[in-house]
């Protein structure tokens, strides 16, 4: 028998639907309250997903005091993550929050310190890590077939007409989306960023108020280099949301289209102007514990709350991906290379 956990959902906008759909299939968790500064949004979600017995309110502290949840799910906008997380931790809750961890690195550091002082888990949804294809690629890289990884390139080109807060947000691509891609680069390489140069711009014809395109080069640990190119304002020939990747090791290269398409070549014979290369398979690989997108992250988080283990996307690790984002932002603003601290 697993222990049933009481959960409070804060922020009942677009992404909360993905959470609530996932929670329908996860046993051992009951939603005791829905909080949103727009009461009608909270009520709509509670009714839509059949939690009509749950408390609906605009006030987080009241909800925490009345329902005494074990965990808080934070699906609010980035600017609210700091307050929601600190309030939830003060009330003795574990927190799983939407990406990005925080709206500034200073807020993130404060949140990480608060979680450590409280002895509670604070983890972040990085759902793209919990994708079957990236796990297959990671397994292939870890097998050592390519040798030591030296270079990662990723392209992210999606013409997304969101409407809403993103259209008016500064550094929208870097802060709201590139966090996923940068986090994937850390996961795939096992390396952390040490410095970055980033150039950001808003292309002609953009429907965003601020820069929606960026290129960035990261110096990573172990001598690895990661190059990022991306735009949320590119019409035609979209990449997947996972991006298109080229990863080079000492003995070969793998291409990943961000879906189920992999191509890999390794050196068969050296000595000529070009080496002779052979195509190798990226073998099928399944890890049901680490797949399922949002559902996978939520399931692992709840299990860790029960057994005291640490989830993969715990804040102490995730802040290193966030530091890449804010390093890139600082570089784009200053047109200079920015160093990134090892612990975020
Ligand atoms: N992991 C993913 O793939 C993914 C996808 C989309 C969005 N997100 C993230 O989810 C978060 C929310 O995005 P969204 O698209 O759902 O935005 P949204 O604007 O649709 O919803 C946010 C909700 O939070 C509420 N809110 C704002 N401040 C609040 C506060 N202080 N207390 C309570 N409620 C508050 C708003 O009223 C709104 O209902 C963002 O951090 C975003 O980056 C993640």
Residues 264 and 247: their CA atoms lie apart, in Å, by 9
Q: What tokens appear for 284 in the block?
A: 């099928």
pLDDT at position 342: 75
What percent of the chain is predicted at pLDDT more than 70? Answer: 100
What is the overall mean pLDDT for the chain?
97
The string of pLDDT tens digits covering residues 70-85 is 999 999 999 999 999 9
How many CB atoms lie under 10 A from the CB of residue 315? 26
The response to whether residue 11 sits with its C-beta less than 6 Å from ligand 1 reads yes
Choose the residue to mutate in 8, 10, 11, 243 for probing ligand 1, maximizing ligand atoms within 8 Å of C-beta. 11
Burial class of residue 254 in the structure, from the number of CB atoms within 10 Å of its CB (0-12 exposed, 13-18 middle, 19+ buried): buried
Closest-lying ligand 1 atom to the alpha carbon of residue 79: 28
Atom of ligand 1 minimally distant from the CA of 41: 39
Q: What's the rounded Cα separation, in Å, for the pair 171 and 325?
A: 10
Rounded Cα distance, 13 and 32, in Å: 18
Which residues have C-beta within 8 Å of that of residue 272, sequence separation ≥ 6? none
Asked whether 80 lines ligand 1 (CB < 6 A), one says yes
Binding site membership of 77 for ligand 1 (Cβ less than 6 Å):
yes
Share of the chain above pLDDT 90, in %: 95
| Number of neighbours of residue 59 by Cβ within 10 angstroms | 12
Choose which residue among 13, 101, 102 to substitute to test ligand 1 binding: the one with the highest number of ligand atoms within 8 A of its C-beta. 13
98 ligand 1 Cβ < 6 A: yes
Going by pLDDT thresholds of 50, 70 and 90, the confidence category of residue 105 is very high
Structure tokens at 198: 């980033």
Q: Are the CB atoms for 172 and 232 separated by under 8 Å? A: yes
Give the span between the Cα atoms of 71 and 74, in whole angstroms: 10
Integer Cα distance of 296 and 203 in angstroms: 36
Check whether the bond before 252 is cis (ω within 30° of 0).
no
Tokens of 55: 């408390």
pLDDT at residue 309 tops 80: yes
Both tokens of 178, joined, read 């590139």
Q: Under 8 Å CB-to-CB from 6, ≥6 apart: which residues?
A: 29, 30, 32, 67, 68, 69, 70, 71
Give the SS3 label for residue 314.
strand
Q: For the chain, state the CA radius of gyration.
A: 21
> What pLDDT, on a 0 to 100 scale, did the predictor assign at position 165?
83
- Ligand 1 atom closest to Cα of 16? 16
Q: Who has greater pLDDT, 50 or 154? A: 154
Whole-number Cα distances in Å, 309 to 248, 312, 314: 34, 10, 10
pLDDT single digits (tens) 150-178: 999 999 999 999 998 899 999 999 999 99
Sorted by where each starts, the structural domains of the chain and their CATH numbers stand as 5-124 (3.40.50.720), 128-287+323-339 (3.30.360.10)
Answer yes or no: are the C-beta atoms of 169 and 179 closer than 8 Å.
no
């Amino acid at each position: 028998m697993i222990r049933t956990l009481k959960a409070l959902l804060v922020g009942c906008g677009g992404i909360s639907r993905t959470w609530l759909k996932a929670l329908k299939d996860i046993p051992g968790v009951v939603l005791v309250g829905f909080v949103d500064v727009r009461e009608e949004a909270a009520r709509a979600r509670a009714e839509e997903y059949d939690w009509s017995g749950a408390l609906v309110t605009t006030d987080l502290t009241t909800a925490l005091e009345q329902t005494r949840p074990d965990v808080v799910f934070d699906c609010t906008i980035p600017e609210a993550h700091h307050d929601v997380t600190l309030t939830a931790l003060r009330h003795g809750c574990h927190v799983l929050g939407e990406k990005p961890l925080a709206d500034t690195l200073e807020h993130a550091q404060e949140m990480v310190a608060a979680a450590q002082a409280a002895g509670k888990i604070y983890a972040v949804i990085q759902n793209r890590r919990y994708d079957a294809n990236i796990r297959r690629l990671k397994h292939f890289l870890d097998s050592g077939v390519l040798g030591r990884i030296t270079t990662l390139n990723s392209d992210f080109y999606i013409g997304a007409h969101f409407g809403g807060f993103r259209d008016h947000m500064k550094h929208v691509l870097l802060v709201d989306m590139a966090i996923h891609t940068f986090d994937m680069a850390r996961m795939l390489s096992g390396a952390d960023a040490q410095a970055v140069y980033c150039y950001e711009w808003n292309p002609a014809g953009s429907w965003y108020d601020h820069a929606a395109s960026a290129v960035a080069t990261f110096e990573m640990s172990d001598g690895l280099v990661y190059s990022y190119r991306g735009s949320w304002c590119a019409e035609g020939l979209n990449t997947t949301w996972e991006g298109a990747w080229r990863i080079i090791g000492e003995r070969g290269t793998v291409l990943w289209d961000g879906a189920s398409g992999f191509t890999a070549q390794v050196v068969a014979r050296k000595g000529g102007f070009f080496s002779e290369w052979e195509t190798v398979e990226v073998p099928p690989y399944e890890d049901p514990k680490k797949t399922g997108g949002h559902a996978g992250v939520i399931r692992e988080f709840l299990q860790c709350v029960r057994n005291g283990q640490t989830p993969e996307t715990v804040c102490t690790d995730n802040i290193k991906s966030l530091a890449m984002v804010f390093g890139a932002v600082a570089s784009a603003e200053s047109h200079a290379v920015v160093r990134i601290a090892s612990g975020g």
